[in-house]
Structure 1
Amino acid sequence: MMRGLILFRRQLHVISRSETSIIKPSSPTPGNLKQYNLSLHDRMMPNSYIPAIFFFANITSSSDQKSTIANLLKNSLSEMLSKYYPCAGRLRSCGSYVDCNDEGAQFVEAHIDCKLSHVLERAPAKEHEEGLGHLFPPKAIWDKLNAEEQSSLVLVQLNHFTCGGIAIAVSLSHCIGDAITFFSFISYWAGLSRHSGEHQKILHLRPHIVHELQPRSIDNHNITFDYPDPEKYWITKEIVFQNCNIAKLKASVEIKDKLQGLKEPDYTRNELVTALIYRCLVSAAATSNSGEYAKSFLCQMVNIRPMIDPPLPQTRVGNFIDYNNIPTSTESETELNLLVERIRNGRKQLRENKNVDENTAIATEFRRSRRIFAISSICNLPLYEMDFGWGRPVKATIVDTLLADCIILMDTSSGDGIKAIVSLEEQDMKNFLDNKDLLAYGKF
């Protein structure tokens, strides 16, 4: 009986995709802006798509309304691409620049044979059967962009559900920008859709694009970076840390601080959840390794726009990130208060150290001798503020991760906690989910 129910649920998610459209910029890119050079740090990023999806309830009820929504999104995307003109171009095979040839973004419209509620609780994974992969265009979830095939740098799929809800799936090439760029891109698109013809209201969302490489001294087209592109072998889970449980965790750490005679720092939610997850990850890996704590390190990607002198605006397009690397070798080094202190010291050093290449070299050296756990946060970014004209999304999420041992933190939709997308190999995931500290504060 149960098996029949499972098969029935799977059959609900049959997709009917209409013909793919190519959305071109509403105005041509000027001749002097036709070549958008990628900085060394852009080229150091994995050449893959960053995927996010936004769910909206009870938007359409008729074919005319569906057509209106689709046309609104296409028209506003076209306007947006005239400002984010590199996103309408094509990456050249050398990988050092984008040909801003206005070839446009790929836009797919799909009809999903189920209600929106049937997919809202699915894991943020790419698998068709268990996750959200069928709501994206093919090869849009952390897949490598194929420069030889002149692939679009932006992939969009508009999904219509039988209940009238919709989901907008967006993937942007990482070579164009980081998470800040990605959400600035979508915010501007949503603003154009919401304020059609009233562009003065969204001037603050317009992108800042600098065409020249920064700095010129590292403009070496012969430099290439290769990231693995494995078939997915890891498991992806979503874990929620509600604010009430984070408060309990904070109280627990503060008690230990008092017992040790330490000054009580004002712990943030992000610091505590990051430290707790890393401690549980290292413990899970040790359990898989017969209890032996291996050399590991916590790698945090940090937005350095506000650290640059003068500070860059959040709408500055590109990959402006540095790495906060925290190595550990023993269980004692994963005590939460110690980890938070080292995280803070690392961020302080990043503000003082302008040599991003040096930090990248350190991370590269660590990768040779230690296991890396990459924990990134998009908390406080406008994930749930993407209003295209019919209200905020009922759910929004990044889907899956580039590799195993990657964790992405984001706010919950109601603002009552932090959600973590965790990707681990099967045995590590089993040990991780059995961790008593994780069970005390996380829900999955």
Structure 2
Amino acid sequence: MELAMEMEQISMEMIKPLTPTLPHLKSYQFSLFDQLLSFSEYGSPLALFYASPRHCNNDESITNTVTRLKESLSKTLSQFYPLAGRLFSQDSTIICNDEGNPLVVARANCTLFSFLTAPNRVELVPRFIPRDDIYLDPTRIDVDGLIIAAFQITVFSCGGFVVGSNGNTKAVDGTTRAHFFMAWAANATSGDPQFGDPNLTNPTPIFPPVPSEYVTSSGIPPVLKPVEDGSSSCVVQAFVFSPASISALQAKARSDFVPNPTRVEAVTCFLWKHMMKAASTVVATIQSSSSSIARQERVPTTTSIIHSVNIRPHLRPMLPPTYFGKLVAHAIADSENKEGSTPTIRDLVVSLRQGLTKIRDNEWLNKFRGEGRLKAACEVKKTLEKFLPKSYYFTSLSGFDQVNFGSGAPLWIGFTGGRTNSFFRNYVPLIHTSDQIEAWPVLDEKEMEALLSDQEFLAVAIPSHVAPLTFLPKASL
């Protein structure tokens, strides 16, 4: 039975760093990777669901939990001070002015257990994430002075709670976000952060930026944004890949070229194969229709993927995971490597591995360090612009399952859900836990219908609302 959940907003305030940022740290310069090779400022939703802390079953205890999270957020923003500043993309800087970050506190009228067992829980996830209008002004056409991150704390009637976030993806990547949440949790519990304090050594000596006027004169905007095409709405769904299914996919993906496919490679290429199949089903339906209106609809031609990759461990010398910023490159893989044949998972994994190997190569990364860095960056940007309209964009999010705010690891991690516009069509986040991967593809509504009718796909990828949940017994929630 679907859950009719009601949400009440209790408060909204701006949380500022506990201690002011020192004057000589007021300007944080983007590196070349932030400056030219970032996709967009918009959209990094995440929601971490937690059981109630022990003995937290009354209003006073719930208030104490919220207070503890607020105070520790302020302390964490002092450590990660650029996040409390404002983004000036055209100038390739963050002004670390300590203006702070919006924090919404809300209350849900149900228990955490009733939410986690509801068949429509994926559709309800956006209720736990700060709305875009809290940190974005939709009337603005520029990208300057933007808030970088917004947060929301939602408490259930049982004392369980959700820590949600959303914000700007221009300045930080998934690695920095995971480190921020781990530090926040450590501050909230008086524990030691797993990786220690952030390394805020500016990355500009590694990938020196180019002057802003060079960015303008190159004819390529500093931000690459997906295009809202005005077509029918998209749908977000979540699919669970169990340890057994991941191992089976890895075995199926092995070849002489890639004898050791990773978990991410196997899951990515399985999804890629079946999303292309769903798109082809929609094309066939449109082509067979006699309706002129149907024939005018968008015909999917998605054949490629773009996969984000953390480059910290691939630099020489390598950088630690604590290194703040957005140090991400994009691997491109194309399925059209065998004309006239349907690619197998093996084929797709080979193509993906080739793309990953290229951008993990230190020689390739060094091209963005010297005098020819602007030319190299512009060439990559043009390639991304070429592939983005016909690509699925994958990103892999790990480490969030280790964030403990005092009541254990999150019982569930959500991205977003339900219907959305086509701005992030074909975006596919992969959320990792210790033993499984949950994929959250954003697809055209008709393509999602076709995917959900694909029995071969559903034999491996279990829709989240019917997958077994590994949370604590009902009495603990």
Q: TM tier, shorter chain?
A: 0.7 to 0.9
Which SS does the other structure have where 1:441 is aligned? coil
Amino acid at match of 1:171: N
What is the alpha-carbon distance in structure 1 between the residues aligned to residue 383 and residue 69 of structure 2?
Answer: 43
Structure 1 stretch 106-115 or stretch 34-43: which is displaced more? 34-43
Please tell me whether the aligned partners of residues 198 and 324 of structure 2 are also in contact (alpha carbons under 8 angstroms): yes
Match of 1:332 among 323, 329, 341: 341
Instruction: Report percent identity of matched pairs.
Output: 25
Residues 281-320 of structure 1 deviation map (CA, whole Å, 9 limit, x = unaligned): 1111112122899462111111111111111111111111
**CA apart distance, 1:342:** 2.2
**CA apart distance, 1:333:** 6.0
Matched, 1:284 2:278: yes
**CA apart distance, 1:367:** 3.6
**CA apart distance, 1:422:** 1.1
Please tell me whether the aligned partners of residues 123 and 238 of structure 1 are also in contact (alpha carbons under 8 angstroms): no
- Written as runs of structure 1 = structure 2, the 5 A alignment for 1:238-317 is 238-253=238-253, 262=256, 265-290=259-284, 294=301, 296-317=303-324
Q: Which runs of 5+ in 2 are unaligned?
A: 288-299, 369-376, 464-477
Please tell me whether the aligned partners of residues 302 and 322 of structure 1 are also in contact (alpha carbons under 8 angstroms): yes
**CA apart distance, 1:142:** 10
Which SS does the other structure have where 1:341 is aligned? helix
What is the alpha-carbon distance in structure 1 between the residues aligned to residue 227 and residue 104 of structure 2?
Answer: 25
Please tell me whether the aligned partners of residues 404 and 425 of structure 1 are also in contact (alpha carbons under 8 angstroms): yes
What is the alpha-carbon distance in structure 1 between the residues aligned to residue 424 and residue 399 of structure 2?
Answer: 25
Amino acid at match of 2:12: T
Match of 2:394 among 363, 375, 400: 375
Match in the other structure for 1:182: 177
Which SS does the other structure have where 1:289 is aligned? helix
- CA distance 1:161–1:361, change in 2 (3 Å): same
Match in the other structure for 1:202: 193
What is the alpha-carbon distance in structure 1 between the residues aligned to residue 30 and residue 312 of structure 2?
Answer: 17
Residues 39-94 of structure 1 deviation map (CA, whole Å, 9 limit, x = unaligned): 34324331114111111113321222122112211111111111111111122474
**CA apart distance, 1:216:** 3.7
- CA distance 1:217–1:251, change in 2 (3 Å): closer
- Written as runs of structure 1 = structure 2, the 5 A alignment for 1:79-98 is 79-92=75-88, 94=90, 96-98=92-94
Please tell me whether the aligned partners of residues 331 and 356 of structure 2 are also in contact (alpha carbons under 8 angstroms): yes
Please tell me whether the aligned partners of residues 296 and 327 of structure 1 are also in contact (alpha carbons under 8 angstroms): yes
Amino acid at match of 1:61: N
Match in the other structure for 2:153: 158
Match in the other structure for 2:401: 384
What is the alpha-carbon distance in structure 2 between the residues aligned to residue 443 and residue 361 of structure 1?
Answer: 37
**CA apart distance, 1:226:** 5.1
- Across the aligned residues of Structure 1 and Structure 2, the Cα RMSD in angstroms comes to 3.0
TM-score by length of 2: 0.79
Matched, 1:429 2:448: yes
**CA apart distance, 1:171:** 2.2
Match of 1:224 among 222, 225, 234: 222
Please tell me whether the aligned partners of residues 243 and 436 of structure 2 are also in contact (alpha carbons under 8 angstroms): yes
Matched, 1:323 2:330: yes
Match in the other structure for 2:24: 32
Match in the other structure for 2:458: 439
Structure 1 stretch 357-366 or stretch 137-146: which is displaced more? 137-146
Match in the other structure for 2:439: 420
Which SS does the other structure have where 2:383 is aligned? helix
Which SS does the other structure have where 2:392 is aligned? strand
Match in the other structure for 1:109: 105
Residues 146-184 of structure 1 deviation map (CA, whole Å, 9 limit, x = unaligned): 678955322111111111211111224212201111111
Please tell me whether the aligned partners of residues 133 and 141 of structure 1 are also in contact (alpha carbons under 8 angstroms): no
Match in the other structure for 2:290: none
Matched, 1:55 2:49: yes
**CA apart distance, 1:203:** 7.7
Structure 1 stretch 239-248 or stretch 211-220: which is displaced more? 211-220
Which SS does the other structure have where 2:176 is aligned? helix
Residues 249-292 of structure 1 deviation map (CA, whole Å, 9 limit, x = unaligned): 344455xx5xxxx5771233222111111111111111212289
Please tell me whether the aligned partners of residues 36 and 212 of structure 1 are also in contact (alpha carbons under 8 angstroms): no
Match in the other structure for 1:404: 425
TM-score by length of 1: 0.84
**CA apart distance, 1:143:** 6.6
Q: Which runs of 5+ in 1 are unaligned?
A: none
- CA distance 1:253–1:31, change in 2 (3 Å): closer
Please tell me whether the aligned partners of residues 310 and 327 of structure 2 are also in contact (alpha carbons under 8 angstroms): yes
What is the alpha-carbon distance in structure 2 between the residues aligned to residue 124 and residue 290 of structure 1?
Answer: 32
Q: How many residues get paired?
A: 416
Match in the other structure for 1:394: 411
Please tell me whether the aligned partners of residues 26 and 81 of structure 1 are also in contact (alpha carbons under 8 angstroms): yes
What is the alpha-carbon distance in structure 2 between the residues aligned to residue 19 and residue 56 of structure 1?
Answer: 20
What is the alpha-carbon distance in structure 1 between the residues aligned to residue 106 and residue 46 of structure 2?
Answer: 16
**CA apart distance, 1:102:** 0.9
**CA apart distance, 1:95:** 5.4
Residues 124-147 of structure 1 deviation map (CA, whole Å, 9 limit, x = unaligned): 76xxxx322222232179978867
Residues 8-46 of structure 1 deviation map (CA, whole Å, 9 limit, x = unaligned): x42xx2222222122111111111111122234324331
Match in the other structure for 1:18: 10
What is the alpha-carbon distance in structure 2 between the residues aligned to residue 54 and residue 107 of structure 1?
Answer: 15
Which SS does the other structure have where 2:401 is aligned? coil
**CA apart distance, 1:350:** 1.4
